[in-house]
Amino acid sequence: MSEDVTILSGPPSSLGIIARGLRGILPVVGKHGKLTPETALPTRSVGLDVVVDADRVTEYCDVVGLSNSGDVPIMYLYVLSFPLIMQLFLSDDFPAAAVGSVHVENTITRRRAVHTGEKLSLRTSCGNLREHRKGMLVDFVTEFTDENGASVASEVSTMLIQQRTSLSGEPAPEPPKQVKLGAPDAFLSVDGGLIRRYASVGGDRNPIHMSPLGGKAFGFPSSIAHGAWTAAAILRLLEGRIPDAVTYHVRFGKPVVLPAKIALYSAPIDGGYEIVARDRKKGYPHVTATVVAL
């Protein structure tokens, strides 16, 4: 990680994040050039010291449907990192606008349980700009350390910046053969009110989540659920079975258009479990996730 670190005095406000994100729609010089793997990204990182707030964790557990044990749910680490990711993504020296980008993957490696009341230091950087058939992928990497400087966790959020690349002419990968799905292990119901509550707790008030009009403005039939909400809520299937030291990998598929009732399927894999959240009627995946012990 770069030694050039900007330490924030507190997390950026969610309203400030929205304002800066929408500003990216405007034709600002330097923000709309085509990216290549050689395009320079900011070499600095952004830092923030936080105390894990017990009341906020309680609200988070309630809105994603998890029991509150006093330990921090694994996807809550993404919530802590989100303001720093946006601080970099929306900075003047980032070479692309965040508006229109797509969150495609998350990988969280937790080395031990994290508890409410703990003081953590977060450092977020970006890199690994690479081509994809639909645009350019970039990783935002957050490292979490405790008061003793020991590594607690790392989190990688992979974003797709949509544009044409040298891979754009390649055929789409063959869709997986549709198999007859059995009865789901559980259903997950979600509506706009629940997602607005999540936006308040999680800090992501992107208009596509906040109202049907906001969703329609960006080409969706209505508002959509945060992928991070779905990735957190599906873990209710494994409550009591997630080890303290674990890697949670999430790949996001088609968005969940609100309101929705999602079918959840789980299966054991080597070292852990796979969970897939699927459209209840058409069967396509919204989220495919693996939980694997370290």
* Residue-wise pLDDT tens digits, 29-47: 445 578 999 999 999 999 9
Contact 54, 222 (CB under 8 A): no
pLDDT (0 to 100) of residue 215: 94
SS3 269: strand
Give the tokens for residue 104: 């495609």
Tallying the residues shown for the chain, one arrives at: 294
In the chain, the amino acid numbered 54 is A
The Cα–Cα gap between 154 and 77 comes to 9
The Cα–Cα gap between 200 and 202 comes to 6
pLDDT (0 to 100) of residue 13: 63
Contact 277, 287 (CB under 8 A): yes
SS3 279: strand
Contact 106, 157 (CB under 8 A): yes
pLDDT at 21 over 90: no
pLDDT (0 to 100) of residue 27: 47
Identify the bridge partners of residue 269 per DSSP, sorted by sequence position.
Answer: 272
DSSP single-letter state for residue 251: E
Q: Pick 95 or 22 by higher pLDDT.
A: 95
User: What is the average pLDDT across 50-65?
Assistant: 97
CATH number at residue 274: 3.10.129.10
For the stretch 166-173, contacts whose Cβ atoms lie closer than 8 Å and that sit 24 or more positions apart, written own/partner, are 166/131, 167/131, 167/132, 167/133, 168/133, 168/134, 170/133, 172/133
The Cα–Cα gap between 84 and 78 comes to 10
Q: Please count the other Cβ atoms lying within 10 Å of the Cβ belonging to residue 51.
A: 10
The domain tally of the chain equals: 1
* Residue-wise pLDDT tens digits, 75-124: 999 999 999 999 999 999 999 988 889 999 999 999 999 999 999 999 99
pLDDT at 2 over 50: no
Give the list of residues 6+ apart from residue 292 with CB closer than 8 angstroms, or none: 246, 247, 249, 269, 270, 271, 272
Give the tokens for residue 91: 């900075």
Contact 197, 66 (CB under 8 A): no
pLDDT (0 to 100) of residue 173: 79
- Look up the domain containing 43 and give its range: 5-293
Q: Please count the other Cβ atoms lying within 10 Å of the Cβ belonging to residue 216.
A: 14
What is the torsional sign of CA 129, 130, 135, 137? negative
CA nearest 211: which of 198, 227, 195, 200? 195
Contact 261, 187 (CB under 8 A): yes
* Residue-wise pLDDT tens digits, 179-224: 678 899 999 999 999 999 999 999 999 999 999 999 999 899 999 9
pLDDT at 48 over 60: yes
Q: Pick 180 or 74 by higher pLDDT.
A: 74
pLDDT (0 to 100) of residue 34: 87
